Amino acid sequence: MTSFTTAQRRAMFVFALTLAIAGFRFATESWAAGVFAVGKCGAYGQVIDYAGEAGARAAALKQCKGDCTTVTVKRACAALAVDMTNPCGAHGYAVKPRISSSLNAATRKCYEFGGKECVIRAWACDAKG
């Protein structure tokens, strides 16, 4: 085998690998809509990696019981904390770039709103979070 043939094979391999990586990136970029729905008494709904935000919002609201507020989760993580002494009382939610910061912020907000024993009820991260 000549060095030219070997170089051609290496070039084809690098080209194919580049196409595969680009295709994977395109697929994860296009499925990047997530929505977290938060309601009263610990109700929630969550969807991640949807093709569009409208579809994600509808799916999250369908999971959440009652009057729910939605927040978009794009390249991030969302968390919901509720007060276990009164699940229909204080709660907090947050959307942050990393799961640890969203968990901490949601718990902190629950305590700020008067919670006594705040715990994480739900969390979700999209493909990039």
More confident residue, 16 or 42: 42
Q: Which long-range contacts (CB under 8 A, 24 or more apart) does 40-46 make?
A: 40/66, 40/67, 40/88, 41/66, 41/87, 41/88, 42/80, 42/82, 42/87, 42/88, 42/91, 42/121, 43/68, 44/68, 44/80, 44/121, 44/122, 46/78, 46/122, 46/124
pLDDT of residue 62: 94
Across the range 38-55, mean pLDDT stands at 88
Residue 8 scores a pLDDT above 80? no
pLDDT, residue 20, reads: 52
pLDDT tens per residue across span 57-85: 999 999 998 899 998 888 889 999 999 99
What pTM value is reported for the model? 0.69
Say yes or no to pLDDT of 42 above 70. yes
Compute the mean pLDDT over every residue in the chain, rounded to the nearest whole number.
Answer: 81
Q: What is the pLDDT of residue 24?
A: 47
Tens-place pLDDT, residues 75-116: 889 999 999 999 899 999 999 999 999 999 999 999 999 999
